[in-house]
Amino acid sequence: MKSVEERAKRIKELLEDKKAEDVQIFDLKDKGYFVDFVVIGTSLGDKHTTALLDFLKEKLKPEGEEFLKVQTSDDWVVIDLGDMIVHIMTEAYRKRYNIEEFLEEIRKGEY
């Protein structure tokens, strides 16, 4: 079984292969957050967001990845993989919520 870090890198690769933009990985192990890693990527629009989710399911489920919970809206998909969360958002939604700043504070131990 791959480590959570290897799995996060695999997800980043897959998202970038399908034109997700500004894909970032946040390593939050031992930071008191409820998951070890968070992956965030920007989609090109609502249809692209859904297509990225479907692509991840198609590629990762055969590799043993278990999608515990998936929440979707027009602008955002959140995938709970147990020890990792994946956010796929439109650019406007990503700018609006600026999750990176929050996650960076956690990573640095400032939250």
Note the pLDDT tens digit of each residue in 6-36.
999 999 999 999 999 999 999 999 999 999 9
CATH code of the domain containing 30: 3.30.460.10
Report the alpha-carbon angle 8-64-70, nearest 5. 65
pLDDT averaged over every residue in the chain? 94
Percent of the chain scoring above 70 in pLDDT: 98
The total number of structural domains that make up the chain: 1
Torsion of CA 89, 91, 92, 94, to 10 degrees: 50
How do 76-80 and 21-27 pair as beta strands? unpaired
Give the count of alpha carbons within 13 A of 100, CB side only: 15
Residue 1 has pLDDT above 80, yes or no: no
The domain in which residue 94 lies consists of 4-108
For 101, the token pair is: 């700043």
What's the pLDDT at 109? 85
Residue 57 has pLDDT above 90, yes or no: yes
Are 37 and 5 in contact by the 8 Å Cβ rule? The answer is yes
Residue 84 has pLDDT above 80, yes or no: yes
